[in-house]
């Protein structure tokens, strides 16, 4: 049973990673998310488009929740599992609790804004009316590799732009 769950988690995390790659293609921080319902069907997908859309609400998880609610026809996403390549921030962790999602599977942890236990554990706060089951580190290396690629390319772009400015003076 545990083995089946692990296999299943890796499968859906791959789908979340495919979303993260769409963010990378837009030069956005590569973060992806999918939401899977009781029947094992993906009912919501999302990837980070914060700069492209000029909106804080364009985080991967928020987009996936919006779409999943539309498919489910309900703001309650009970019975659903959310897969995200990076640990959710305070907003996304809050949205997951509000949407009453059963379980969250995380790729890499986020030291800067992680609210699935790193800076704060919003997903499992006993004061709230809902707590979320949590699995971390699923395809962690693949998630981190995407993030490293993004930040390396960002540094290279910044360096090239700086040199272009110096040449223009």
> Annotated catalytic sites, by residue?
61
66 binds a second copy per the rule CB under 8 A: yes
Instruction: Give dist(CA 44, CA 154) in Å, integer.
Output: 29
| Residue position matching structure tokens 């110096």 | 166
Residue 129 CB: number of other CB atoms within 10 A? 7
Per CB under 8 A, contacts with a second copy among 139-168 are none
- The residue (of 13 and 93) whose beta carbon lies closer to a second copy is 93
Q: Does 69 bind a second copy (CB under 8 A)?
A: yes
CB of 109 vs a second copy, minimal distance in Å: 14
Q: Name the residue nearer to a second copy (CB basis): 90 or 163.
A: 90
**Residue 11 corresponds to which tokens in the numbers above?**
């499968």
Smallest distance, a second copy to C-beta of residue 83, A: 18
**Widest pairwise Cα distance in the chain:** 65
Closest to a second copy by CB, 19 vs 69, is 69
Question: What six digits make up the tokens of 18?
Answer: 């495919």
CA 109, 113, 116, 117 torsion-angle sign:
positive
Distance CA 111, CA 115 (A): 9
Q: Using the rule CB under 8 A, is 57 a contact of a second copy?
A: yes
Kindly state the smallest distance separating residue 141's Cβ from a second copy, in Å: 26
Return the number of the residue (69 or 143) whose C-beta is nearest a second copy.
69
**Whose CA is closest to 61, among 1, 25, 106?**
106
Enumerate binding residues for a second copy (CB under 8 A). Answer: 50-51, 53-59, 62, 65-66, 69-70, 73-75, 77, 89-95, 97-99, 112-113, 115, 119-120, 122, 125, 127-129
């Amino acid at each position: 049973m545990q083995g089946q769950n692990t296999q299943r988690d890796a499968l859906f995390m791959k789908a979340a990673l495919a979303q993260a790659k769409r963010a990378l293609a837009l030069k956005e921080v590569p973060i992806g998310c999918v939401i899977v319902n009781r029947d094992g069907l993906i009912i919501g997908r999302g990837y980070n488009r914060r700069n492209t859309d000029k909106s804080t609400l364009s985080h991967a998880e928020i987009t996936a929740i919006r779409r999943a609610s539309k498919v489910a026809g309900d703001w309650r996403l009970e019975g659903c599992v959310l897969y995200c390549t990076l640990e959710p921030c305070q907003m996304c962790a809050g949205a997951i609790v509000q949407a009453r999602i059963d379980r969250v599977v995380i790729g890499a942890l986020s030291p800067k804004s992680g609210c699935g236990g790193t800076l704060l554990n919003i997903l499992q706060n006993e004061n709230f009316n809902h707590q979320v089951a949590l699995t971390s580190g699923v395809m962690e290396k693949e998630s981190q590799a995407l993030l490293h690629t993004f930040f390396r390319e960002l540094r290279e772009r910044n360096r090239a732009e700086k040199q272009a400015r110096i040449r223009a003076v």
